[in-house]
Structure 1
Amino acid sequence: MIDFSPTQYFYEFIKDSAALTRDVLEQHFNDLKGTLRKLLDERLVSLLQEVDGIEQESVKPLDECQKLIEHGVGTADELLWEGESAIHSVTGENNDKLCRFTKKALHIQLDSLPEVPSLVDVPCLSAQLDDSLLTVMRSQIFRHGTVASRPPVQIEELIEKPGGILVRWCKVDEDFIPQDYRLQYRKSTASQFEDVYVGSDTEFIVLHIDPNVDYQFRVCARGDGRQEWSPWSVSQTGRSTLVPHEWMPGFEGYSLSSRRNIALRNDSQAGGVLYSKAPTYYCGQTLTFRIETVGQPDKKDSIGVCVEQRNGWDSLQRDKAVCVSTNGAVFVNGKEMTNQLPAFTSGSAVTFDMEAVNIGPSNNNEGGNFRLRVTIGSNNREVVFDWVLDQCCGSLYFGCSFSYPGWKVLVF
């Protein structure tokens, strides 16, 4: 077995990236040459068709004039031949042929010919070709494309989330002023990357990630005031081993997406709390609810977490639960706090973060308590408090309840 040193690894990395860059440059310029040749050929054909059209339109009246002249000359030759024949055949007793010729000659206007246009009225075709096009193209081509020793941005961190991966990136070129970033990803088995985010943020949660599957990520940036994107960062591979958050299927009052991470309150008369399929929220994680669409609010509406599922309740505003109402009110074990968050709007994101503070002295949890430090955030505002439970909870359910249709919630 050959043990490659870091120097050897970086050597191979540089050689591979240089070879890839050469391939990209050659392919790009070959494509440009092919496209440019095609465009020039199409323009040439178009101009030649214009020449053909002008030529045909210009020659047509001259052809007609020429035909009339030739017809007149032919008629005059025929009349001349008939006149000579009539003169030679005249006798004292038979001059009918000469009379017929005379009548025919009087009815033919030999001096009537079509007007021939003057030289200035005759089209003279020419081509006007601006040589400055070559100057402009030469200038553009000489500035087209750049080669960088390293991309201006690189992926800094990949953090697994339930059903997703948080991607963070940073600028590594101090002289580069970014305007937008562009993030792409693909499954390790896929051949093409696809766009997943374009914007000014330096992190993004990529959702709909299958657990225990490798994904590749890469990012690039667009400089301030420029249209072209920078070279791609070195691709990074990440995966999520966490079970995706899913809503419980089969609840009559809610319709779920194919991945069961989006719940829509439908117009069914059935109500109550829609819980998660399993207690998949753990302390130390961030649970996010994003309001995709809003409906008519009600004071009993709620989204939050709870220790256990309780059927028959129409809200999470109860014991052993922490929730937020659509008007921003925060409830802990059914009691409303004085602090309040902003009311829900379309696009609002509500986050729950929890960490264990201490556990009571009783090993069997009788008479002891379990304290969680809870942080709920929404629209740049936070509420922080301690949630006291009578027993240790390794994981929690999440849930939502809406009285009226139209509310749609994504959980991740």
Structure 2
Amino acid sequence: MEEAEVERLVLEAKESIEAAINYRRELQHRLRGLGQARTQIKESAAHTRDALRQHFQDMRNAVSKMLDERLTVLLQQVEAIEHESIKPLDDCQKLLEHGVSTAEDLLREGDIGGLGGLYIRGEVAVSTTGENHQNLCNFTNKALHIQLDSLPEVPSLVEVPCLSAQLDDSLLSVARDHISSHGTVASRPPVQIEELIERPGGILVKWCKVDDDFVVQDYRLQYRRHNSGHFEDSYVGPDCEFIVLQIDPNVNYQFRVCARGDGRQEWSPWSVPQMGHTCLIPHEWSPGLEGYSLSSRRNIALRNDSPCQSVLYSKTATYFPGQTLTFRVETSGQLDKRDSIGVCVDKDGGCDSLQRDQAVCISPGGAVYVNGKEMTNQLPPVSPGSTITFDMETVSLGPNNNNEGPHQRRRVTIGSGNREVVFDWLLEQSCDALYFGCSFVHPNWKVLVF
């Protein structure tokens, strides 16, 4: 066999071995993924079983407690009606028993006084003795005082209560209808996280509805450090995306989202948690400038009452092309024509506004400035809650100049409200990242950057 043929076979064997190694690695990776999928099904099924058992046990206990409480109330009502109804009968019985006792005493007195023989078989025998005559007068007077012809009224059976319980068996039918449709089991949640996008000091979370029959009223987004503590609410509302701020760089976070159906109070099951992190350091305002107070994370700047004739810049140049830089005006103050919010190539401590060369900015009134010149197009005036976004991308200077040399052209998009302006910005020198800044003449302006 020729040497070339041997080398070819050896080369093919090596390639086959490498292909087999890669093939085995890929299969093992897919086996791990399959194992994770199996684990998710098993664990979610076990969790669902536990949740169903616990829920129905809680329902059983709650219903039993409510039935016991209702039974107690009804028994108390029976007790009260019985006691209230028996009392007048007891009073009547005491009156009757007193009358019987009085009549018996009268009869006993007649026997003792020798008057018992005065009434024998309806015949009256008259005694001729004086003593009997006196006893007879006393006895007659006492009988008249007792009023033997006056009998108390005894209520008839129709006049006294006859207790009964009115029980509607339709409750069982209604309960059966509700219980038979109570609870559902879904193979997957109605909403899932679609994408996690890095942002400086934050993560943009996007989600979507995967159940077409589920009518959403609100979404609820939560996050936490991976395997650390409890999930915290980050957003509740109708939008399908939200930027979670105060995210530490190079730290894994878990995100999950659920939804609430239209007209319902309970939330749907949570989506499958997704892991995300950002490698981008957060945007920070530069500390130490008199006239501005910063938050603990230095992402919020407040114009205070101290005099200030300078622009508040970012700590470092952290805005890169391809990213979205967002300013949110939290509170506003009195307007001034020199007020500005924007980006620039470098810091210039001698300027009191970003309306200068090598900077693009927007004034709170909506005017857009490029290198200190006001554009014809304007944006809506800002107000508390307004967001201003800057998006940039590097574009070619022309067919013979692909941004080589000192000059560089950027395609800039500034958005505010529901409008945006787009223009090309020619930089005198090439730079990888830009500073951002703001300047306000009057106090009470508060700006969040992210």
* Band the TM-score falls in, shorter-chain normalisation: 0.7 to 0.9
Relative to structure 1, the CA distance from residue 373 to residue 59 in structure 2 (aligned partners, 3 Å threshold; closer, same or farther) is same
Higher mean Cα deviation, 28-37 or 304-313? 304-313
With the length of structure 1 as denominator, give the TM-score of the two structures: 0.84
CA RMSD in angstroms comes to: 3.5
* Amino acid across the alignment from 1:377: G
Q: Which structure dedicates a bigger proportion of its chain to helix?
A: 2
Computing the radius of gyration over CA atoms, which structure comes out larger, 1 or 2? 2
Query: Which residue of structure 1 lines up, in the alignment, with residue 81 of structure 2?
Result: 54
| Residue equivalent to 1:270 | 307
Aligned: 1:70 with 2:97: yes
CA distance in 1, matches of 2:301, 2:101: 94
Equivalent residues, number: 408
Alpha-carbon distance change, 289 to 362 in structure 1, aligned in 2, over 3 angstroms? closer
SS at match of 1:43: helix
Q: Partner amino acid for 1:334?
A: G
Partner of 2:3: none
1:28 equivalent among 46, 55, 59: 55
Residue 227 of structure 2: aligned partner: 189
Does the C-alpha gap of structure 1 residues 345 and 132 become closer, same or farther in structure 2, counting only changes over 3 Å? same
| 1:329 corresponds to 2:367 | yes
Aligned match of 1:116 in 146, 154, 167? Answer: 154
* Alignment partner of 1:381 is 2:419: yes
Residue 199 (structure 2) pairs with residue 172 (structure 1): no
Give TM-score scaled by structure 2 length.
Answer: 0.78
User: Which position in structure 1 is the counterpart of 2:280?
Assistant: 242
Does residue 330 of structure 2 align to residue 292 of structure 1? yes
Query: Corresponding residue for 2:8?
Result: none
Task: Compute the displacement of 1:340 (Å).
Answer: 0.5
1:220 corresponds to: 258
Please give the alpha-carbon distance, in whole angstroms, between the structure 2 residues aligned to 1:277 and 1:19: 50
- The correspondence for 1:162, drawn from 188, 197, 200, is 200
- Aligned residue for 1:372, secondary structure, equals strand
Worse-matched range after superposition: 167-176 or 51-60:
167-176
Gaps of 5+ in 2: 1-24, 116-126
Tell me whether 129-138 or 21-30 shows the greater mean CA deviation.
Answer: 21-30
Find the aligned partners of 2:308 and 2:325 in 1 and give their Cα distance: 24
1:317 Cα offset (Å):
2.1
Report the counterpart of residue 370 of structure 1 in structure 2. 408
Q: Distance in 2 between matches of 1:204 and 1:65?
A: 80
Query: In structure 2, what is the Cα distance between the partners aligned to 1:357 and 1:55?
Result: 94
- Greater shift, 317-326 or 391-400, is seen at 391-400
For 1:315 and 1:105, the matched residues in 2 are separated by 120
Structure 2 CA distance for aligned equivalents of residues 143 and 322 of structure 1: 61
Asked if residue 43 in structure 1 is aligned to residue 76 in structure 2, the reply is no
| CA–CA distance in structure 2, aligned partners of residues 404 and 101 of structure 1 | 114
Deviates more, 1:178-187 or 1:32-41: 178-187
Letter in 1 for 2:176: R
- Percent identical among aligned pairs is 68
> Among 7, 11, 17, which residue is 2:44 paired with?
17
Comparing 372-381 with 10-19, greater Cα deviation is found at 10-19
- Map 1:299-378 onto structure 2 (within 5 A): 299-311=337-349, 313-357=351-395, 368-378=406-416
The separation in 1 between residues aligned to 2:106 and 2:349, in whole angstroms, is 118
Q: Shift of the alpha carbon at 1:294?
A: 3.1
Letter in 2 for 1:234: V
- Take 2:307 and 2:109, find their aligned partners in 1: how far apart are those partners? 112
| Cα distance between partner residues in 2 of 1:72 and 1:256 | 97
d(CA) in 2 for partners of 1:293, 1:375: 24
Q: Greater shift after overlay, 227-236 or 97-106?
A: 97-106
